[in-house]
């Protein structure tokens, strides 16, 4: 195979990207490529064969390249794209989610339409016209899901999550889209008809899940030790074995417990940290004030970042706080962040806050609100917004020049989650988190992240069941059972992602220590700007780029 030049490498990546975006149009929308906003993916066997062939060819080409004569950026981008292609190929060769994940089809249909309505990247009539195209494709995608799924291979917990998400998601097709289409009178009749057909197809799919999938679902969600370690090594470029990572998780868990009890003894002698935290949960906003409270803390965090010179806030960015859509609430107990596409001109993020549903029993409503307490909300706001996810991801979108670097977060969550979690302690040290109960809440979140390492390894190596993991979060971490259930459900379908928060923070701290040693006298802002300008790289590649000769 002839040696590629660096320019030829980047040209080949452009071609590969555009081919794959046509295959996975919802991902294209997420990235900010809007040529396929009117389409949903093709999940037929011929389409899968075509995608797998392209990935195999990409891996072979990238493995055959010698990047030694290239620039530091070229070498890092080649390594990034090789690992990304391998990661995507693994889904065809090993995990075979099209046979096992009923929620994937639901999420594509609901998420594909939801993205178009939520992200303000074009005039509303243009986005509604694209949504109409996707609504018309919903019956086909769900029919392909019925054909592809092998009920006996579906993990029961995945079937339960898919069923709940589909039932909650019906409101999107039955109510939300028709109401929103009133803003486009010429499209309204067509949208209503397409929405009704989409709702009917989703109801049929719900019946299929209830009749055929759930009663027969006995697949194993666990990745297994070998695959789990491969993902650590290939996706995150980490050298841990599963057993070593589990040991790290337990050490961090116990160390954090000790820190909490030391602080508790100073805050309220005679009370445990758990007792203080549980007492603090009673102090929460009213349900109707939840989003307003998060918005206030988000704005306060942004001002603090500017005043303290922590990192440069990119020009033109903005962040909207919105309620988590009903279909996503089963797996987002508190809050989450939706980044603007790396290719979008308008860099507007969406900060999702999971509200308290009116139909919930009074006790369940109170339990949900306790998770949104005043001690914790500032920590969550800075994690999701400033200087956490939103600032970091928008910075990467604005300041990285190459296509591979703009797509970096699609490979590994290690830097993205590690950065937001690093920011929690940073903001405490700088005085944003200044009340003792807030510091306990921050440590409580650290305990939760350490527990994620333990549960991530334990669930996916067969050491723990779903129920045992839920009970661990309730008994050892203090999460409310409904929120613990949502957490563990997510862990079952995302091996190695839950560990990335605290492990990512530890890896970033190593990079920061090295940066300070190499660059004495640099300000906090200069250091953070230099790190964020490299993009959302796994820390191993971040180190290579940041300290390139």
Q: 3-state SS string over 272-293?
A: CHHHHHHHHCCCCCCHHHHHHH
- Per-residue pLDDT of 182-198, as tens digits, reads 999 999 999 999 999 99
Give the three-class secondary structure for 534: coil
List, edge to edge, every strand of the sheet that includes 335-338: 318-323, 348-353, 335-338
Q: Are 340 and 32 in contact (CB under 8 A)?
A: yes
- Per-residue pLDDT of 355-387, as tens digits, reads 988 888 888 888 888 889 999 999 999 999 999
Diameter of the chain measured on Cα atoms: 72
Q: What angle do CA 207, 211, 217 make, to 5 degrees?
A: 115
Q: Are 524 and 512 in contact (CB under 8 A)?
A: no
Task: Scan for tokens 């086909």, then name that residue.
Answer: 140
The reported pLDDT for the residue numbered 505 is 97
- Of the CA atoms within 13 Å of residue 386, those in its CB half-sphere come to 27
Structural domain containing residue 503: 274-435+467-546
Per-residue pLDDT band at 7 (split at 50, 70, 90): very high
Q: What angle do CA 211, 214, 216 make, to 5 degrees?
A: 90
- Using CA atoms, how far residue 121 sits from 124, 165, 347, in Å, is 9, 26, 9
| Domain total of the chain | 1
Give the bridge partners for 338, in sequence order: 350
The reported pLDDT for the residue numbered 83 is 96
User: Is 402 inside a domain boundary?
Assistant: yes
User: Is 191 inside a domain boundary?
Assistant: no
pLDDT above 90 as % of the chain? 86
385: left (phi over 0), alpha (psi -120 to 50) or beta: alpha
**Other CB atoms within 10 Å distance of the CB of residue 324:** 17
Question: Model pTM?
Answer: 0.92
User: Is 424 inside a domain boundary?
Assistant: yes
Per-residue pLDDT band at 1 (split at 50, 70, 90): very low
Residue 200's contacts (CB-CB under 8 Å, 6 or more residues apart) are 139
Lowest-confidence pick of 254-268, 289-303, 365-379: 365-379
User: Is 487 inside a domain boundary?
Assistant: yes
**Other CB atoms within 10 Å distance of the CB of residue 546:** 20
- Asked if the model's pLDDT at residue 328 lies above 90, the reply is no
- Per-residue pLDDT of 27-76, as tens digits, reads 999 999 999 999 999 999 999 999 999 999 999 999 999 999 999 999 99
Task: Scan for tokens 């790290």, then name that residue.
Answer: 248
Rounded to the nearest integer, the mean pLDDT of the chain is 94
Per-residue pLDDT band at 549 (split at 50, 70, 90): low
- Using CA atoms, how far residue 448 sits from 85, 118, 333, 342, 430, in Å, is 32, 30, 13, 30, 23
User: Is 292 inside a domain boundary?
Assistant: yes
User: Is 536 inside a domain boundary?
Assistant: yes
Q: Which residue has the higher pLDDT, 368 or 433?
A: 433
- Asked if the model's pLDDT at residue 509 lies above 90, the reply is yes
Q: Which of 95, 221, 223 is nearest to 159 (CA)?
A: 221
| b/e burial code for range 379-415 (CB count within 10 A of at least 16 → b) | bbbbbbbbbbbbbbbbbbbbebebbbbbbbbbbbbbb
Give the bridge partners for 322, in sequence order: 352
Compute the distance between CA of residue 408 and CA of residue 21 in angstroms, rounded to an integer: 15
Q: Which residue has the higher pLDDT, 118 or 261?
A: 261
User: Is 520 inside a domain boundary?
Assistant: yes
Compute the distance between CA of residue 367 and CA of residue 345 in angstroms, rounded to an integer: 40
Lowest-confidence pick of 254-263, 320-329, 395-404: 320-329
- Asked if the model's pLDDT at residue 246 lies above 60, the reply is yes
Written as one string, the DSSP assignment of 198-252 is HHHHHHHHHHHIIIIIGGG--B-----HHHHHHHHHHTS-----HHHHHHHHHHH
User: Is 455 inside a domain boundary?
Assistant: no
Average pLDDT on 111-131 reads: 94
Compute the distance between CA of residue 180 and CA of residue 253 in angstroms, rounded to an integer: 47
Residue 303's contacts (CB-CB under 8 Å, 6 or more residues apart) are none
């Amino acid at each position: 195979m002839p040696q590629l030049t660096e320019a030829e490498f980047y040209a080949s990546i452009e071609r590969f990207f555009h081919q794959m975006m046509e295959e996975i149009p919802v991902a294209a929308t997420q990235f900010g490529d809007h040529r396929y906003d009117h389409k949903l993916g093709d999940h037929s066997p011929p389409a899968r064969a075509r995608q797998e062939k392209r990935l195999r060819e990409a891996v072979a080409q990238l493995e055959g390249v010698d990047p030694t004569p290239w620039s530091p950026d070229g070498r890092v981008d080649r390594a990034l794209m090789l690992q990304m292609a391998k990661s995507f190929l693994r889904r065809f060769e090993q995990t075979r989610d099209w046979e096992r994940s009923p929620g994937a089809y639901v999420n594509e249909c609901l998420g594909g339409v939801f993205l178009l309505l939520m992200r303000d990247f074009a005039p509303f009539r243009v986005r509604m016209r694209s949504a109409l195209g996707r609504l018309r494709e919903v019956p086909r995608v769900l029919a392909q899901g019925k054909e592809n799924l092998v009920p006996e291979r579906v993990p029961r917990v995945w079937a339960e999550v898919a069923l709940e998400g589909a039932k909650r998601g019906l409101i999107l097709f039955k109510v939300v889209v028709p109401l929103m289409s009133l803003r486009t009178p010429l499209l309204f009749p067509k949208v209503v008809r397409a929405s009704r057909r989409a709702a009917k197809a989703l109801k049929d799919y719900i019946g299929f899940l209830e009749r055929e999938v759930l009663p027969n679902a006995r697949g194993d969600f666990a990745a297994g030790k070998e695959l789990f370690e491969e993902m650590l090594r290939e996706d995150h470029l980490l050298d841990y074995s599963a057993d070593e990572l589990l040991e790290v998780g337990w050490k961090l868990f116990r160390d954090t417990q000790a820190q909490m009890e030391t602080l508790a003894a100073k805050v309220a002698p005679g009370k445990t940290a758990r007792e203080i935290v549980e007492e603090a949960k009673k102090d929460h906003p009213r349900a109707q004030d939840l989003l307003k409270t998060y918005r206030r803390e988000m704005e306060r965090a942004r001002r603090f970042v500017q005043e303290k010179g922590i990192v440069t806030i990119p020009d033109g960015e903005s962040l909207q706080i919105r309620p988590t859509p009903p279909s996503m609430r089963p797996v987002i107990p508190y809050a989450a962040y939706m980044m603007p596409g790396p290719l979008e001109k308008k860099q507007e993020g969406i900060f999702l806050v999971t509200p308290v549903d009116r139909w919930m029993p009074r006790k369940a409503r109170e339990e949900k609100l306790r998770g949104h307490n005043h001690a914790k909300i500032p920590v969550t706001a800075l994690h999701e917004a400033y200087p956490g996810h939103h600032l970091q991801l928008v910075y990467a979108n604005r300041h990285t020049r190459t296509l591979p670097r703009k797509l970096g977060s699609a490979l590994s969550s290690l830097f993205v989650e590690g950065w937001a979690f690093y920011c929690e302690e940073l903001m405490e040290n700088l005085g944003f988190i200044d009340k003792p109960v807030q510091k306990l809440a921050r440590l409580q979140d650290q305990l939760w992240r350490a527990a994620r390492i333990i549960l991530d390894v334990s669930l996916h190596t067969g050491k723990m069941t779903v129920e045992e993991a839920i009970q661990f979060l309730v008994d050892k971490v203090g999460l409310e059972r409904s929120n613990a259930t949502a957490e563990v459900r997510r862990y079952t379908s995302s091996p190695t992602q839950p560990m990335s928060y605290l492990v990512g923070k530890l890896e970033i701290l190593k990079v920061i220590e090295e940066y300070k040693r190499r660059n004495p006298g640099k300000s906090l802002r200069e250091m953070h700007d230099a790190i964020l300008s490299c993009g959302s790289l796994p820390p191993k590649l971040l180190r290579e780029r940041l300290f390139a000769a």
